[in-house]
A and B are shown apart, each in its own frame.
Chain A
Amino acid sequence: MTETATRLVPFDEALTRYEPVIGLETHVELGTRSKMFCGCPTTFGAEPNTQVCPVCLGLPGSLPVTNAAAIEFTIRIGLALNCTIAPWCRFARKNYFYPDMPKNFQISQYDEPLCTDGWLDVDVQPDDGPARVVRVEIERVHLEEDTGKSLHKGGSTGRIHGADYSLVDYNRAGIPLVEIVTKPVPGTGALAPQAGRSYVTELRDLLRALGVSDVRMEEGSLRADVNTSLTPAGSGRWGTRTETRNVNSLRSVERAIRYEIERQAAVLDAGHRVMQETRHFHEDSGITTAGRSKEEAQDYRYFPEPDLVPIAPSPEWVAELRTSLPELPSARRARLRSEWALSDLDMAALAHADALDLVAGTVAAGATPADARKWWLGELRQRANAAGVELSALSITPAQVARVSELVASGVLNDQLARQVLDGVIAGEGSPDDIVRDRQLGIVSDDSALIAAVDDAIAAHPDVADKVRGGKTQAAGVLVGAVMKATRGRADATRVRQLILGRLGAA
């Protein structure tokens, strides 16, 4: 494939000549119980073609009826994004043929979206220096229906190209889908990749707080298309954008933008023009490749959906929805920052590590904010990084972390033992208490047991013992170490030291 031979300009160098402009189109599957236009369930992972009916299969004669909850969720999203809610709008048909689309048109919204002209403030954290707030302007939020899913059979790769035939499951067809489109975001410079990631993160947290979607990128309930263009520095005119699809994780958002900046810079450096096209991101290699070019320009022939009547949300309803909005992530962050007495930088670090919910959950389960933060950003982040996964993907819950923290506070564990307990929980050995019991990790607080170990240590190191007896109490460290080793770290070092000094008459 020629794409792998694509020339790139190193990121930092690209930014000396070009200013990136990004834009994001995010699709969110709403968490309604039933589909957008029929009463079929929206559960993920059901047997193929078991969550279908005449409406979502597009059978001749069937008619859509709008799910009230989907409208409500969309308005809530619009309000949370500071949008204007249209007083009157219609669905439109987007006409194109594709086997996973049962009617060969998608019910969507065209020139009359439900929500328009909003914004979302995003904290962007550079690798060094303070976080920067970027205001991402929202062009529109509209509602549409999802398509079915195709499995490509035959050929070598299981991908669409080279397949012999395909198998279609329409369970996903008709699930309500909200599309959130930003305006172009200029001016983020080298932070463009992080800004893209931070926007999707913030949006995801916002949608989760609203309770409108389970926002699982890995299950496709949150999907981002990333637009990238480069402007020659100081030229003032915007370049041609590409639209990158198949960006399925937060990390990929960042990588895809970064790659497009490096690729487009090389294209422009060579004196070529960037093609306006759809590109596909490849998770494994981190590159983007061009989609199949269209023989004929798409002409979607939008027109107002005659089977559905206009939507006219009353001002009273919108006002009611506005007052019932939950605390949004930015407000929550501000509150928690003050409750936890953290600096902006500490807070930004938590957010950047995607640890806010985890820490909040740990605090809610009884840990102090400082301890919760220490465990998640310290030990646990190291383990996540080592495993190459997100923090939230570690198989340990905030409640378990809180319990470990509690065991330390109460003297049952010291920090070193606590690390072993964390490893045990992540390894699936059970609860922290199970692991303390099974691995016999609790601190030995019984003096008689410790005195035996102290006496053993003194007997094994007579010269050291003499030094201590002679007043060189600092030499007791060697003996403490020997006791700690003998108890496999389960002793309280301070108490051991007291006991040693006592036995040697140096107290």
Chain B
Amino acid sequence: MSITRDEVAHLARLARIALTDAELDHFAGQLDVIISAVARVQEVTAEGIPATSHAVPLTNVFRPDELTECLTAEAALAAAPAVEDQRFRVPRILAEE
């Protein structure tokens, strides 16, 4: 067993997904199988091998400090589920970061 149901529940909380109990059971089984499969990467002897984050090596891609056109507030807010005072209205916020 590479992952427990409790760990899956923890992951779901971290990822902000309100899984149902049935889903938790289902995903716990599937993730266990998947994690066992992907754990094959640990068979590779990778001592001293650098990690690749970007396949094509580029560096120093910058833009000049120049202004470009903004969206109008109307366009920015057009898809918002709720708007008030030209701001995005969101449910009460519990935690400070």
Direct contact between A and B in the complex (CB less than 8 angstroms)? yes
| A residues in contact with B92, CB < 8 Å | 152, 154, 163-166
Shortest distance from the beta carbon of A146 to any chain B beta carbon, whole Å: 13
Q: Contacts A50-B73, A163-B92: A41 and B62 contacting too (C-beta < 8 A)?
A: no
B46 within 8 A of A: no
B67 touches which of A40, A167, A304 (Cβ 8 Å) = A40
User: What's the nearest-Cβ distance from chain B to residue A322, in Å?
Assistant: 18
The answer to whether B90 touches A165, judged by C-beta atoms less than 8 angstroms apart, is: yes
Which of A64-72, A436-444, A464-472 makes up part of the contact surface?
A64-72
The answer to whether the Cβ of A204 comes within 8 Å of any Cβ in the partner chain is no
Option from A47, A49, A71, A299 in Cβ contact (under 8 Å) with B14:
A299
The smallest C-beta distance from A321 to any residue of chain B, in angstroms, reads 14
Within 8 A of A (CB), among B50-66: 53-54, 58-66
Proximity string of chain B (55-97) to chain A, C-beta cutoff 8 Å, 1 when within and 0 when not: 0001111111111111111001100000011111111111111
Q: How far is the CA of A50 from the CA of B93 in the complex (A)?
A: 23
Interface check B26, CB cutoff 8 A = no
Distance in angstroms between the alpha carbons of A38 and B88 in the assembled complex? 21
Are B66 and A160 in contact, CB atoms less than 8 angstroms apart? Answer: no
- Tell me the minimal C-beta distance from A71 to chain B in angstroms: 7
- What is the bound-complex CA distance between A53 and B73, given in angstroms? 9
Contact check, A292 vs B95: say whether CB atoms are below 8 A apart. yes
What is the CA–CA distance of A172 and B89 in the complex, to the nearest angstrom? 17
CB pair A68 B62 closer than 8 Å: yes
Cβ of A238 within 8 Å of any chain B Cβ, yes or no, is no
Q: Is B53 a contact partner of A304 (Cβ separation < 8 A)? A: yes
B16 contacts chain A at the CB level, 8 A cutoff: yes
Q: Are B65 and A32 in contact (CB under 8 A)?
A: yes
Cβ-neighbour of B70 out of A51, A71, A151 (below 8 A): A51
Q: Are B93 and A150 in contact (CB under 8 A)?
A: yes
User: A53-B68, A99-B93, A166-B93 given as contacts; is B86 within 8 A of A48 (CB)?
Assistant: yes
Can you list the 6 inter-chain pairs with the closest CB atoms, starting with the nearest? A39-B68, A69-B65, A68-B62, A167-B87, A304-B53, A312-B59
15 A-B pairs (CB sep. < 8 Å): A32-B65, A47-B73, A49-B73, A50-B73, A53-B68, A66-B61, A98-B95, A152-B92, A163-B93, A165-B92, A170-B76, A299-B14, A304-B53, A309-B61, A311-B59
List residues of A whose CB falls within 8 A of some B CB. Answer: 32-34, 38-41, 47-54, 57, 65-71, 88, 90, 96-99, 150-154, 160, 163-170, 278, 291-292, 294, 296, 299, 301, 303-304, 306, 308-313
